[in-house]
A and B are shown apart, each in its own frame.
Chain A
């Protein structure tokens, strides 16, 4: 039954592809195929450079030794090629604390972002498909919560968690990460478009309970939305800096962001031990998983972003 309902993104793709073919005479003025603009091209090239140069810098400088970083031109390779040595040093520095931080980050991402996605899906779906008193109030609260930046809540959250005795534990990072009002809202909007109420009624007629209807029918229709929320949550948790910075004081529980900053801070003050080469290598290793996640999941990401933008 599910196969008969095309997902929104495939439906749109086929429509887009067929339009120019059907109306070639209008191609020049068709808003879907604007004329190429030199100005736009230049702007886009500049923007691409702006985005890519830091990455190129990171890759090039990850191959340099601490001394080479200071004595060579930033955007080209230095005299020594120390990529492998830097990699080994980064992974073994201080008994391999980097790997511990990597593991911590994975833990926070899997439990925090995974849990956030699950909760957002359940709540967003429930709000979209069931009518109950107080629904409008929930809507207002969720919208309001989106407007409050997490940084503003960090200090109150810290004081709250210290009352509970949870600071300096992984829970202090995981529990706040479980809440994603934006994800909830996105699933809510997406559900209204992607899961026809008629379909659920048909399922109920056939004797499926609400849970069965959700897990066997709705969840499959919601996959693009869920993946989008998951990606948002993964990126937010992976890059989370401020919350763990104030919550954690034991480096054994640091995520990569806070740990790398501690390495960078080692170059400051008396008894400084600059390890810029390891900071750069560590940064490179830190962004690789995120890039991989984007490349693998980007088609879901795109369709999820445009969810709700066109009334289907």
Chain B
């Protein structure tokens, strides 16, 4: 089943890159300045549009979307929101890119993960909301999530969830083998060796090569491999941070200390439930997924801050995303109104939190109710205290590529090969960089010139 799913995903990516390529090439000449035709009417226009009413289409694969839209329609009875699940992640981006290329068919409001934002802002597909007074919302969000939806003065969306990284670990496994919770990556590698030597069926973690994970880990190590200035792009996947991560992770990959299980597969959920995988360094949105996908692990899991290189607290964002208004929207003020309610009202964020989402808003991240939650799955640990602290320690300055969606799709062919052969990840990163440079230049960017 997973194989055919992969084949289909590959086919979908191939189609998307074919079309996305055309879109990018057609647009790269005009540069990234998208604010000239942006609205300048202030938030008053948004409120007026909400009063007047109308109909909106909202693309999202979040499980809360329907419930949030229903609550919104109750608060603003003249507005109708059609929620459409146009696919998860890449599937949705393919469709969005197609609709943009086609000139029609895009929704008014769309869910986009942070890593994909640059791809859509640079192709001038999203509406700059600064003219609607959205700049006033800046203080409501964590710095890293706000930075992910903005570019200079332009505001291309509002953050919804966030994924500051923490280390989830199976305490039962750690206790069984007398392993202490690692606080540095050196300790983490040592724990990996101890665990696998004591029980060869158990692994410190699972990693078959995942672009989102790798970029977040480089981010945490202080790397800044991707720099963009207009259409000038610099890629250096051998900068200090990238090397630091690759050298550490090499020990695990070359000695086969990570389980060869691909993330989000049925096997992966099984391994999380039965203790085969002892830790996961991942985004703060993970608890809900563990509870629904690995019910057998209930009571065993705990959360600790990310191990670091020097012992000082450092985290990175992993996953998470927000919503944006497309330029195709025929009622942008109303779409902006829905967006501001969706990601900036307590009513909406409460619904989001109840179903296990992890917020990006400082108010919720700092609230007592949120911080004092003691989920049973995590043995009554106040996990949100750890996760909120991680949000505060996210390393600043990270940027994704303006063609990161494509970049991530070829990760498996490049860095993935190092995983496959248990060989030096630095070589894989260099191969990835070469492919990215070639692609970027072919698309009309100026990369590493």
Contacts and interface: CB of A to CB of B under 8 A. Distances in A.
B104 A246 contact: no
B54 interface: no
A287 to B, nearest CB: 13
B19 A155 contact: yes
A245 B92 CA distance: 10
B320 interface: yes
A76 to B, nearest CB: 16
A274 B5 contact: no
A270 B289 contact: yes
Contacts of B95: 246, 249
Interface string B47-68: 0000000000001011110000
B270 A272 contact: no
A302 interface: no
A271 interface: yes
Nearest to B18: A155
Contacts of B163: 270
Contacts of A266: 61, 88
A92 interface: no
B419 to A, nearest CB: 19
> Which of A70, A155, A246, A276 has the most chain B CB within a 10 Å cutoff?
A70
A246 B264 contact: no
A265 B87 contact: yes
Contacts of B294: 70
B101 to A, nearest CB: 8
Interface stretch (B7-15, B116-124, B332-340, B401-409): B7-15
Contact of B8 (A165, A241, A249, A251): A241
Interface residues of B, number: 53
B107 to A, nearest CB: 8
Given A246-B94, A262-B91, A269 B292 contact: no
A154 interface: yes
A271 B289 contact: yes
B102 A159 contact: yes
Interface in B5-52: 5, 8, 11-12, 15, 18-19
Contact of B5 (A70, A168, A264): A264
> Which of A165, A167, A250 has the most chain B CB within a 10 Å cutoff?
A250
Nearest to B283: A270
B285 interface: yes
B273 interface: yes
A62 B149 CA distance: 42
Interface in A235-274: 241-242, 245-246, 249-251, 261-262, 264-274
**Overall SS of chain A's interface:** helix
Given A70-B273, A270-B161, A270-B319, A262 B87 contact: yes
Contacts of A250: 84, 86
Nearest to A162: B102
Given A250-B84, A262-B87, A270 B285 contact: yes
B185 to A, nearest CB: 24
B225 interface: no
Given A70-B266, A71-B270, A262-B85, A154 B293 contact: no
A90 to B, nearest CB: 16
A162 B266 contact: no
Contacts of A209: none
B89 to A, nearest CB: 6
A271 B12 CA distance: 22
B98 interface: yes
Contacts of B84: 249-251
B103 interface: yes
A246 to B, nearest CB: 6
Contacts of A245: 8, 12, 15, 91
A276 B1 CA distance: 10
Contact of B105 (A151, A163, A249, A279): A249
Contact of A71 (B62, B103, B296): B296
A259 to B, nearest CB: 10
B357 interface: yes
A196 interface: no
Given A70-B269, A249-B99, A262-B91, A271 B104 contact: no
A265 B88 CA distance: 6
A67 interface: yes
B296 A269 contact: no
B295 interface: yes
A167 B91 contact: no
Contacts of A270: 161, 163, 283, 285-286, 288-289, 319-320, 357-358
B289 A162 contact: no
A83 interface: no
10 contacts: A163-B102, A165-B104, A167-B99, A249-B84, A261-B8, A267-B264, A267-B293, A270-B357, A272-B264, A274-B266
Given A262-B85, A271-B357, 5 more contacts: A70-B266, A71-B296, A262-B87, A262-B88, A274-B269
Interface of B: 1, 5, 8, 11-12, 15, 18-19, 59, 61-64, 84-89, 91, 94-95, 98-99, 101-105, 161, 163, 264, 266, 269-270, 273-274, 283, 285-286, 288-289, 292-296, 319-320, 355-358
Interface of A: 67, 69-71, 151, 154-155, 158-159, 162-163, 165, 167-168, 241-242, 245-246, 249-251, 261-262, 264-274, 276, 279
Please provide the 6 A-B residue pairs with the shortest distance between their CB atoms, ordered closest to farther. A162-B102, A270-B285, A70-B270, A265-B88, A249-B95, A268-B264
